[in-house]
Amino acid sequence: MLERHQITSLDGARKAQIVASEDLIFMSGMQPDTTDGDIREQMRAALKNVDAALATMNEDQSSIFVIHIWLKDMRYFSAMNAVWNEWADSENPPARTCVSGELFRPDLLVELVVTACRTKGAAA
């Protein structure tokens, strides 16, 4: 059975931010809540939203398999990576990819797609 959480149509497309099975958790469109800041601020905010989504599912960073990072421009890579290194568990980091591409809003600098596993059972 699939669970769907945080159903939204923020960008005009109806979607669930979180879809989970008994074993896996998929998170799409993990973005900052506001795009007022630079790449460091936007990345911190996006990762904060990942942490909050994991908490919704009774999980934490240790359950993440992989994060795909989409940057508006690869010139942001170094600054984004510094924030990543502050956040990621140095002993048990998830797998990661980073690509650049046009994002759906011109003021959005980063977006994350996350796949995690359920280590603590079903959500509360």
Residue 72 lies in a domain: yes
Residue 17 lies in a domain: yes
Indicate which CATH number applies to the domain containing 23.
Answer: 3.30.1330.40
| pLDDT tens, position by position, 70-119 | 999 999 999 999 999 999 999 889 999 999 999 988 999 999 999 999 98
**Rounded distance, CA 61 to CA 63, Å?**
5
| pLDDT tens, position by position, 45-59 | 999 999 999 999 999
Q: Say yes or no to pLDDT of 17 above 80.
A: yes
Helices (H), 27-76: 39-56
> Would you state the pLDDT for residue 2?
78
For the entire predicted model, the pTM comes to 0.89
> Would you state the pLDDT for residue 1?
80
Q: What is the DSSP letter of 94?
A: P
The count of domains in the chain is 1
Residue 64 lies in a domain: yes
Can you tell me whether residue 46 is helix, strand or coil?
A: helix
Residue 122 lies in a domain: no
Closest CA to 5 of 103, 110, 122: 122
For residue 25, the enclosing domain spans: 3-117
